[in-house]
Amino acid sequence: MKKYLVDLTADERAALQAVVRRGKTSARKVTRARILLRAARGATDARIVSAVGVGSATVERTRRRFVAEGLEALDERPRPGARTRLSDKAEARLVAEACSQAPEGRWY
């Protein structure tokens, strides 16, 4: 028996189907929606893995996030990474210089 069962309301199902049909949505979000729709129909993780083309950990994680967070589970979480190296002031100066005219005598 699955620990995280996906049980969709009519509104949730309609929202997920809209995500899958819409053309301007990130691929990850569409994949998560497809996983949840198949899980709600009672598909096993193995069938979802083969149909959607993701790993079993992705299916389990998506189920778990949906049960805990609802449709917000479709959204990306912040990813760790390097901090920006420029301050806001330095970034503004760089943009201003890049968008300004080249100095006199510069051929490019």
Count of domains observed in the chain: 1
Q: Which domain holds residue 46?
A: 10-74
Residue-wise pLDDT tens digits, 68-103: 999 998 888 888 888 878 888 999 999 998 888 877
31 is a domain residue: yes
1 is a domain residue: no
26 is a domain residue: yes
Q: At CB < 8 A and 24+ separation, what contacts does 72-78 make?
A: 73/32, 73/36, 74/16, 74/19, 74/29, 74/32, 74/33, 74/36, 75/29, 76/26, 76/28, 76/29
pLDDT at 4: 84
pLDDT band at 108 (very low <50, low <70, confident <90, very high): low
57 is a domain residue: yes
Residue-wise pLDDT tens digits, 28-72: 999 999 999 999 999 999 999 999 999 999 999 999 999 999 999
% of the chain beyond a pLDDT of 90: 56
35 is a domain residue: yes
Indicate the pTM of the whole model: 0.71
91 is a domain residue: no
Within 10 angstroms of residue 64's Cβ, the number of other Cβ atoms is 13
29 is a domain residue: yes
Q: How far apart are CA 18 and CA 75, in angstroms?
A: 15
42 is a domain residue: yes
